[in-house]
Each structure stands twice: as structure tokens, then as C-alpha cells.
């Protein structure tokens, strides 16, 4: 438990208070990089990057090749006046491993992907969008999460009611990387405090811990906390503990 609380304390730099207006402005796309089907999502908002070299960056994102289903981090800049994007693919070592040069229209992203050796055409179609920066209501918007397990990746299912101040994750799909089929769905409707909306980056609301165990961030308490999900080897199912753990619980601050 202490190890999990230390993990949470580290990432809670993004959220020091519980009360806030919405902060997600997210666009989900499907399409092709070259001949390879992909799923891609971008969140547009300035202020994620504390580095001087990235002071103009306003995009965080994640994408996956649908054959492999391993989420890859994206970051970059969207020139909203000229409707062009330069987005970098960030590898496991934190270094840029490829770059997207894209033009944005109302429904499409088109351009190129390049890793310095190969250059591929990119054609992406807008699937849906999620914004909790207005009074707009929405339901069943699926957002790829950056963290994943060895054999599974996660899709958060988000919704927001009319005039609500924030979206939340109503369920989490656990999807097989091998088959791309849903293995299990965890539902949060019975949990009183909002789930999956603590982190300002929408793709970071799930964190793997060890083996097949993971956390889902929850808005319990003053600075938030998390839900525990453990994998039962005997039943081969993920077990959600419905009682959120608040940061600072059990005397740990």
C-alpha cells in the first residue's frame, strides 16, 4: 500500500485540489500510416510542458498500431491559425523516435510520418471528440490509455452530463493485445466519487503497478486517490476493489 501511495504522490503534481472545471479537449482518430491501421488520439491544451524548449507545445497524445496494440506517447505543437501540426513520437527511452507532419481539417488529419529512414503517408479520419470545456453532454467516448499490461491495453469509456463541470470515466475496457477483442469491462457507476478524471492528461488516468495489477485514479478526498484492480490468477479475471483509497490514507501523507 505504501508503495502505491508513493507512486500517487509523485504523479499528483498535476492536481493539487479536488475542485476544478473541466480540462479535456480530446480528438480520436482512426486510419492509416502507410498501409498500417492505427488508432490515434490527441489532447490540445497549453501548459503541460515545463521545459523551455517545449514552451510552445500544446499537444499531448497517444497512438497504437492496431496489429500490435502497444500505446506510444505523442507530444508536439498545433498551429491553430494555419491548421498544421508537428507531433513527435516518444520512445521508451524518452527520445524522439519518429515525427508526424500533419494538416488538420474539420474531419481529417493528413500528412506524413517519418523516422529518418522511412517516410509514410498518413490519412486519419476523426472518429469522435470529447470536451468538458463546455456544457456539451456526451456518452460512450472511448479514450486509449497510455499505460498498458504485457497482454492487455486499456480504453476508458467517458461521459459527461449536460452542464456538468467535468467528464469522468464510467467504465474501463481491458482489451487483448493479441486479438484486439474486449477481455473484460470494469464499471464505475456504483462508485460515488468520479473516476478517471484526476490527471490533467486524459491518457494517464490508469497506472500499472506490478504484474497484472493496476490503479485507476479517482477524485476521492482533498487531492484525490485511486481504485485498486488486482488480477486473480485462479479465475483469470481482473478484480476491482470498489472502495477508493484517498491519498494520505492510513496516516501516510
Measured CA to CA, the distance from residue 193 to residue 219 in angstroms comes to 6
Residue-by-residue pLDDT tens, the chain, 253 positions: 444 444 444 444 334 334 445 789 999 999 999 999 999 999 998 888 888 888 899 999 999 999 999 999 999 999 999 999 999 999 888 888 999 999 999 899 999 999 999 999 999 999 999 998 878 889 999 999 999 999 999 999 999 988 777 899 999 999 999 999 999 999 999 999 999 999 999 999 999 999 999 999 999 998 999 999 999 999 999 999 999 999 865 544 3
**Element (H or E) spanning 218, and its range?**
strand 213-218
Measured CA to CA, the distance from residue 146 to residue 143 in angstroms comes to 10
CA distances from 75 to 47, 144, 186, 203, 246 (A): 12, 15, 29, 12, 30
This prediction has a pTM of: 0.89
What domains sit in the chain, N to C, each tagged with a CATH number? Answer: 2-21+132-251 (no CATH), 25-128 (2.40.128)
Amino acid at each position: 500500500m505504501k508503495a502505491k501511495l508513493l507512486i500517487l504522490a509523485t504523479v499528483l503534481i498535476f492536481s493539487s485540489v479536488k475542485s476544478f472545471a473541466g480540462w479535456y479537449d480530446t480528438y480520436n482518430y482512426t486510419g492509416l500510416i502507410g498501409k498500417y491501421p492505427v488508432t490515434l488520439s490527441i489532447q490540445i491544451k497549453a501548459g503541460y510542458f515545463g521545459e523551455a524548449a517545449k514552451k510552445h507545445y500544446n499537444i499531448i497524445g497517444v497512438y497504437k498500431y492496431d496489429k500490435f496494440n502497444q500505446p506510444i506517447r505523442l507530444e508536439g505543437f498545433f498551429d491553430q491559425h494555419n491548421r498544421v501540426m508537428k507531433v513527435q513520437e516518444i520512445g521508451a527511452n524518452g527520445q524522439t523516435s519518429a515525427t508526424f507532419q500533419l494538416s488538420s481539417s474539420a474531419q481529417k488529419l493528413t500528412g506524413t510520418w517519418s523516422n529518418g529512414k522511412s517516410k509514410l503517408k498518413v490519412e486519419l479520419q476523426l472518429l469522435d471528440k470529447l470536451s468538458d470545456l463546455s456544457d456539451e453532454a456526451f456518452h460512450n467516448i472511448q479514450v486509449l490509455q497510455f499505460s498498458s499490461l504485457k497482454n492487455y491495453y486499456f480504453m476508458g469509456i467517458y461521459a459527461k452530463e449536460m452542464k456538468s463541470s467535468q467528464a469522468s470515466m464510467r467504465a474501463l475496457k481491458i482489451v487483448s493485445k493479441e486479438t484486439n477483442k474486449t477481455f473484460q469491462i470494469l464499471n464505475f457507476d456504483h462508485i460515488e466519487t468520479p473516476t478517471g478524471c484526476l490527471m490533467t492528461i486524459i491518457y494517464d488516468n490508469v497506472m500499472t503497478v506490478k504484474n497484472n495489477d493496476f490503479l485507476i485514479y479517482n477524485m476521492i478526498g482533498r487531492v484525490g486517490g485511486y481504485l485498486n484492480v488486482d488480477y486473480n490468477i485462479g479465475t483469470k479475471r481482473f478484480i476491482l476493489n470498489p472502495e477508493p483509497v484517498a491519498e494520505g490514507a492510513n496516516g501516510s501523507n
